Structure 1
Amino acid sequence: MTETDARHQLTGPDDEAGAERTAPDSTERINVRPQPDAGWRRFAIDVRPLRHPAYRRVFIGNATSFFGTQFTAVAVPVQMYALTKSTLWVGYLGLAGLIPLLIFALWGGALADAVDRRRLLFVSSVLMWVCTLGLLAQAVLRVDSGSLLLVLVAAQSAAVAVSSPTRSAIIPRIVDLDEVPQANTLNYTASTAASVAGPLVAAVLIQYNVAWAYGVDAVTFTVALWAAFRLPAIAPEEGEGGGSRGRLADVMFGLRYLATTPVLLLSFAVDIVAMVLAQPRALFPAISAQRFHGGGIGWLYASIALGSVVAGLTSGWVARVRRQGTALIGAVVVWGLAVAAAGLAHSLWLCVLLLAVGGAADLVSAIYRQTILQTYAPDHLRGRMQGVFTAVVVGGPRLGDLRAGATAVPLGLGAAWVGGGIAASVVAVILAVVFPSLLRYAASRP
């Protein structure tokens, strides 16, 4: 690919200390510059991307709003069960959230390649906020309708499907390209920490009134709206296949690009392998009941996220790795083996520890997968690639739950858990050996 040193100036309503720079053109590869930090600073999370005002606001907005969304994530199923006394209706919430995400993620990515990404992010965020206000209103007014909950969840999910790829496609434009790994680390660490703390606080509020949980989400989400509004204009760069208008043809162009780009295609493939084959979440209740005498279910569910948080806080080394493709494969292998080892553990705390190791590896793989996607794909296709990424991230774990539950019936709990982890590691290695382009990928060259 042709390299360029051109930097694009972004101007907008937040023109602080001069115009904020975009990252280099997407065809320029990362040139990682090792920092001379010593001691613990070499491993502490790298916060340098926060020096960019636009990214700093986006980070604060995302972290705050994601903490708030955890309140709604807990409140909606609790309210649905209270209204219907039916676990089937609670299950419908999963479908109501999943189907719009899978449908609209690809279209949302195409839109992100067609229009000003700042405007699209703001509009889709407003739609998400309106849905949250709708949830708050129905709780305050005691509408007591399970069907209305399904409609609001589906509408909110459709808005998320547009905002998520747009937000991710923006990141390489508001930080230096060699800071994309650090920016992704900050984002993943903050969101994982919120996913641990949010439900704990939400559970306390819901005991008083479910409306309080929706209210917290509505208030915290205003920070994300502020962050999106203060972004400068970010129009997609021109390129072959650019000029997207969000049509089906534009979506198909993005999929053809992905199919003919082995590095990106394999990064998606190993992620699907990791989630579908090794995800043990659906087996936690059975393991808790059969092996740990009904105890530790909370620790099992929290273990992977806790490992991810610890990995994020000690991730200063991440940006110094040039062989990001090899690191991605290695992280997936560690994830699979850690899950398999946890399935063999008969001590709750050993199982939790091994799952935490898996969570740490999962964070590392997520960082490199997202970084490769954001820096390898040209800017005019980043939205569409992020749309595919959103669909994979959403669908993969759910398929993993289905795989785990279905194989546990004929094979037994232990074989389904351990075998899945081993299979994920083996398949990841086979893919890397048979299709070595991902192994050869380095941060400074394609």
Structure 2
Amino acid sequence: MTEPDAPASPARRRFVDLSPLREHPVFARLWIGTSISGIGTWVTTVAVGLQLFDITGDTFAVALVGGISLVPMIVAGIWGGMLADAFDRRRVLILSSIVAWLSILGIVALSAADSLLTGRAPVWPFYILTTLNAVAATISSATRASVTPRILPEAMVSRANALNGIAFGLQLTIGPALAGVLVALIGFPLTFAVDAVLFTAGFLGVLGLPRLPPLTRTAKPGWESLRDGVRFLRHAPNIRMSFIVDIVAMSLGRPYVLLPAIGASVIGGGSVTVGVLTAAAAVGTFLTGLFSGPVAHVHRYGVAVGRAITLYGVFIALFGAVLAGMATGWFGPVGESWDQVNLVALLLAAVALAGSGASDEVSAIFRSTMLLTAAPDEMRGRLQGIFIVVVTGGPRVGDLVAGGLAVLTALWVPPVVGGLAIVAIIAVLLRVQSTFRHYDARDPRP
């Protein structure tokens, strides 16, 4: 087994370390299944936004998908983390996956009904089903992350997180692009059905896990368990700060809810442009994972996270600058058909989002590894629950902020203002929180 500080070849230092997949079949099965099912998840995420925009023509109606599910997701993250600490994590994964699967099938049926009705289907059932899916996915994600240190040696956790970044990059590259193409070719119902089919791979990966009961006696889900988690977090300044900096980035730097309107009226190209721009961020994420060999040799996690999120804010502001340039009208009219897209603006916007995806993934690798290695096993479920609430709830707050601000001002304002605010706030946080700035992975402290 390769030690984290052992000498490595130049290729190994540059490229991702595959040893977690080669040496640990259980992790490999879970990783492959999650990678495939995640593509379907993004197909549905993008397609739901496109269908709601098609029904209502309202960007804020698209933003409400995230806003309505926010509070249930917060509850699910906290409760799901307690479940993961108190019960067999494999069983929790199986049950939550079944619920997620059923919600996807419900979306398929609802979309089919909309296509068959003479009038348009109401939007509220979409909100209910997407919220149910988000709740189940939050519980699954929190539990799945807490499984990693149980099926891998601690020295491989950062490498596993880098591999997860590659998986996420592939999902975000293929899923949204596939959604745009499928919606255009076969319509919404069959597009959602693709997710239901791909979900089987993730379910098989979960079934391949061994039993994972608690290692120590832990309070059953309830107030006592929650108090234990809060008490631990109160004395864990580094983990707390890892949550805070991500909330800042995601709540102020999320332009994706704007993409349907951008594809329709700013850059042009309609649903295909939405898929291309969403996939561009994933390309950056994927490339970061691909060239993640050095992660095992980086120890100053706080510094790495701070610099990565600062760069993220810069790229988001640049994306907004492209939209501001298009808003001047100097580049001519655009339309929803692909032959009416402004290719120069699309390329510049895609580069900016690719940069944001790359920098966000650097932050994610080190924040995830900090959480999994600095926290004891009996707390990992609850902390992962909070972590999942942050990484999934933060973007939903960001959707509401971006959608609401765009309605009040212009589409380019949220990314420009948000990106610059991220840079300023992160600089202040790193200055006032010295323990996070000096965090050293060789002596992990929560």
> TM (normalized to structure 1)?
0.82
Q: Considering only aligned residues, what root-mean-square deviation do their CA atoms show, in Å?
A: 3.2
1:272 aligns with 2:247: yes
Counterpart of 1:213 (choices 191, 197, 200) is 191
SS at match of 2:16: coil
Partner residue of 2:135? 158
Bigger mean CA offset, 92-101 vs 116-125: 92-101
Listed as ranges, the matches of 1:245-260 within 5 Å are: 245-260=220-235
1:111 aligns with 2:88: no
1:396 aligns with 2:398: no
**CA deviation after TM superposition for structure 1 residue 149, in Å:** 3.7
**CA deviation after TM superposition for structure 1 residue 366, in Å:** 0.8
For structure 1, list consecutive stretches of 5 or more residues without a partner in the other structure.
1-20, 22-29
Question: Percent same amino acid among aligned pairs?
Answer: 38
Change (3 A) 1:429 1:234: same
Change (3 A) 1:334 1:253: same
**Equivalents in 1 of 2:261, 2:191: separation in Å?**
30
SS at match of 1:317: helix
Choose between structure 1 and 2: higher helix proportion.
Answer: 2
**CA deviation after TM superposition for structure 1 residue 370, in Å:** 0.9
Deviations 1:245-304 (A, max 9, x none): 111331232123212211101111111122223334456678778986889665544432
Bigger mean CA offset, 420-429 vs 317-326: 420-429
Change (3 A) 1:94 1:427: closer
1:234 aligns with 2:206: no
Counterpart residue identity of residue 439, structure 1: R
Change (3 A) 1:155 1:283: closer
1:366 aligns with 2:338: no
Listed as ranges, the matches of 1:28-107 within 5 Å are: 32-38=4-10, 40-51=11-22, 52-78=24-50, 85=56, 87=58, 92-107=64-79
Change (3 A) 1:194 1:178: same
Bigger mean CA offset, 96-105 vs 321-330: 96-105
Counterpart residue identity of residue 99, structure 2: L
**Equivalents in 1 of 2:224, 2:258: separation in Å?**
41
For structure 2, list consecutive stretches of 5 or more residues without a partner in the other structure.
326-343
Change (3 A) 1:128 1:294: closer
Counterpart of 2:203 (choices 219, 225, 228) is 225
**Equivalents in 2 of 1:384, 1:133: separation in Å?**
29
Bigger mean CA offset, 279-288 vs 384-393: 279-288
**Equivalents in 2 of 1:158, 1:406: separation in Å?**
24
Partner residue of 1:381? 379
1:315 aligns with 2:292: yes
Change (3 A) 1:341 1:153: closer
**Equivalents in 2 of 1:98, 1:414: separation in Å?**
25
Deviations 1:323-345 (A, max 9, x none): 11221111112212333344445
SS at match of 2:86: coil
**CA deviation after TM superposition for structure 1 residue 405, in Å:** 5.1
> TM (normalized to structure 2)?
0.82
**Equivalents in 2 of 1:139, 1:281: separation in Å?**
22
**CA deviation after TM superposition for structure 1 residue 169, in Å:** 0.5
**CA deviation after TM superposition for structure 1 residue 430, in Å:** 1.9
Q: Is the 8 A contact 1:32 1:444 kept in 2?
A: no
SS at match of 1:61: helix
